[in-house]
């Protein structure tokens, strides 16, 4: 019976990772008292990404890259999750983090990764674990570096989960471009591959094998276990990695390997109280000091 169910179950699980859930924007930054404007910019491979540029007259900038599949630049909405697969029962509002940054004197770019929100779709319309999405981080940094109101300002990168994967691969692709754009520091929260996320669920091996096969077929051959530890040796700016120690959906060995590979100045910040992975995504909205201390020292 397991062999009969493994294929459909694996395809279902892989599709959760491959196909971002469509989610509306119930609010704009204006609802949080944040001055903003809608912006769009192009990637090297010809896609248009769209986002919000907040407090653009500030002397320093932070680019926020959201986690994937379950989110867009606004955040995570419980009502938009499938009834049979709802991993978290609280809202995640990234504008609450943007508020903390603006209060501390930063401008913020919030944007949708490809295949998410209002940004363009690729030909296959599927996520690649951060590998193709590396061009999105490069495009966001170039936009801030060349936009009239923000050019020349120092940049911090605040990258969540899938967004952290994407940022590591962006450094592997072109670290020189990021530093040339003025990127000074990175806060990378809970990077994780799709394969490690599903493996941590304790699924039967037959289901995981089916999920990996379907994922690689549908994505055009991309690795289910996107090897961020291959990319982190290219990270060239001071990096603060953040990880909930009790996160049940991760591979802490991989997290350590990623961290160990970073050659730049680095620190590991363990979140000791969260017991759900998604609690970590809400952390900086209520506890911004660690993030702000890192950026305040380095984004100058």
What are the tens digits of pLDDT across the range 8-43?
999 999 998 999 888 899 999 999 999 999 999 999
Average pLDDT over residues 107-112: 98
The DSSP bridge partners found for residue 266 are 239
Q: What is the mean pLDDT of residues 209-224?
A: 95
The answer to whether residue 1 scores a pLDDT higher than 90 is no
Per-residue pLDDT of 143-197, as tens digits, reads 999 999 999 999 999 999 999 999 999 999 999 999 999 999 999 999 999 999 9
* Residue 135 tokens, joined: 């061009």
Which residues, other chains included, contact 80 with Cβ-Cβ below 8 Å and sequence gap of 6+?
A: 21, 22, 23, 24
Distances (CA, A) of 58 to 41, 95, 154, 208: 20, 17, 10, 47
pLDDT value of residue 82: 81
Q: How far apart are CA 125 and CA 20, in angstroms?
A: 9
Please check whether residue 187 is in contact with residue 295, taking contact to mean a CB–CB distance below 8 angstroms: yes
CATH architecture of 2-298: 3-Layer(aba) Sandwich (3.40)
Q: How far is CA 187 from CA 142, 171, 241, 278, 292, in A?
A: 19, 14, 6, 17, 10
Residue-wise pLDDT tens digits, 257-282: 999 999 999 999 999 999 999 999 99
Q: What are phi and psi of 181, to 5 degrees?
A: -75, -10
The C-alpha atoms of residue 178 and residue 139 are separated, in whole angstroms, by 9
Q: How far is CA 89 from CA 47, 66, 72, 244, 248, in A?
A: 33, 18, 17, 18, 16
Q: pLDDT (tens digit, 9 = 90+) per residue, 41-80?
A: 999 999 999 999 999 999 999 999 999 888 999 999 999 8
Instruction: Determine the pLDDT at residue 95.
Output: 98
pLDDT at 161: 97
Residue 3 has pLDDT above 90, yes or no: no
- Residue 4 pLDDT exceeds 60: no
List strand residue ranges (DSSP E) for the chain, in order.
Answer: 36-42, 48-54, 60-65, 75-76, 92-93, 106-111, 155-160, 183-189, 239-244, 266-271
Q: How far apart are the first and last CA of the chain?
A: 60
């Amino acid at each position: 019976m397991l062999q009969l169910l493994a294929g459909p179950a694996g395809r279902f699980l892989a599709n959760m990772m491959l196909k971002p859930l469509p989610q509306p924007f119930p609010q704009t930054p204006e609802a949080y008292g944040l001055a903003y404007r809608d912006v769009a910019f192009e990637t090297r491979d010809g896609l248009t990404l769209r986002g919000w540029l907040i407090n653009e007259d500030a002397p320093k900038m932070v680019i926020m890259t959201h986690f994937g599949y379950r989110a867009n630049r606004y955040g995570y909405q419980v009502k938009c999750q499938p009834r049979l697969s709802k991993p978290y029962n609280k809202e995640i509002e990234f504008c609450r983090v943007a508020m903390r940054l603006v209060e501390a004197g930063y401008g913020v770019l919030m944007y949708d990764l490809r295949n998410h929100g209002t940004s363009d779709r690729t030909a296959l319309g599927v996520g690649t674990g951060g590998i193709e999405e590396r061009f999105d981080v490069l495009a966001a940094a170039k936009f801030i570096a060349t936009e009239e109101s923000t050019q020349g300002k120092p940049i911090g990168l605040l990258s969540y989960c899938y967004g952290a994967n994407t940022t590591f691969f962006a450094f592997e692709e072109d670290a020189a471009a990021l530093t040339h754009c003025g990127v000074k520091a990175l806060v990378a929260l809970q990077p994780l591959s799709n394969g490690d996320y599903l493996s941590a669920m304790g699924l039967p091996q037959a289901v995981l094998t089916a999920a990996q096969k379907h994922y690689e077929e549908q994505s055009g051959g991309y690795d289910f276990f996107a090897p961020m530890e291959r990319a982190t040796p290219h990270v060239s700016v001071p990096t603060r990695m953040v990880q909930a120690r009790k996160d049940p959906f991760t591979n802490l060995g991989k997290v350590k390997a990623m961290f160990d590979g970073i050659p730049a100045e680095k620190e590991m910040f363990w979140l000791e109280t969260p017991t759900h992975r998604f609690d970590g995504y809400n952390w900086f909205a209520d506890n911004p000091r660690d993030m702000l201390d890192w950026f305040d020292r380095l984004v100058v």
